[in-house]
């Protein structure tokens, strides 16, 4: 006569532990990224965007990707600015120039889009965008366009 096993709790527990054990290495290797939104701008209120920050597991650098939409052309601002420059305040209190925003309009849309991808060895605490009269500035001007909250 055949015996039928209805429920074996030991087998279920072992199967659950095995499944969790297989998932743990996959999730521990995954790099976590942090997404922070820019606050609404009083200079360009329609502009909105975000910054994604991911720490490289191997060399401990921070990879940052900025995406901004509905950002007005810099020459349309009230000031005589020629470029948007992205700045980072580090967790050590220093300010670092991350670079100039690359802007374009979409193929089927006239909405301006701006982006920047960069890497830094410093951990960011705040990222902000200024309108500058020169692209090779060493210190941020007082024309802040967009800024994030603290990370």
> Which pLDDT does position 135 carry in this prediction?
84
> Which pLDDT does position 29 carry in this prediction?
45
For the chain, residues with pLDDT lower than 70 are 1-31, 105-110
Cα 53 to Cα 134: distance, rounded to the nearest angstrom:
27
The alpha carbon dihedral of 43, 41, 107, 98 has a sign of positive
> Which pLDDT does position 28 carry in this prediction?
41
Q: CB of 50 within 8 A of CB of 69?
A: no
**What pTM was computed for the model?**
0.76
Cα 82 to Cα 78: distance, rounded to the nearest angstrom:
11
> Which pLDDT does position 8 carry in this prediction?
66
Cα 57 to Cα 120: distance, rounded to the nearest angstrom:
13
CATH numbers and ranges of domains, the chain: 33-147 (2.60.40)
Element (H, E) at 17: helix 9-29
> Which pLDDT does position 108 carry in this prediction?
55
């Amino acid at each position: 006569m055949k015996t039928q096993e209805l429920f074996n709790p030991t087998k279920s527990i072992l199967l659950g532990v095995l499944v969790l054990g297989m998932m743990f290495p996959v999730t521990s290797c995954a790099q976590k990224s942090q997404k922070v939104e820019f606050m609404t701008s009083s200079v360009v209120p329609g502009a909105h965007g975000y910054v994604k920050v991911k720490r490289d597991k191997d060399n401990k650098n921070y990879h940052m990707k900025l995406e901004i939409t509905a950002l007005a052309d810099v020459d349309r601002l009230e000031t005589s600015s020629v470029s948007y420059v992205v700045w980072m305040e580090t967790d050590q209190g220093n300010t670092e120039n991350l670079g100039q925003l690359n802007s374009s309009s979409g193929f089927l849309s006239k909405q301006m889009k701006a982006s920047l991808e960069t890497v830094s060895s410093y951990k960011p605490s705040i990222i902000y965008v200024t309108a500058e009269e020169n692209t090779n500035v060493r210190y941020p001007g007082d024309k802040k366009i967009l800024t994030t909250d603290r990370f």
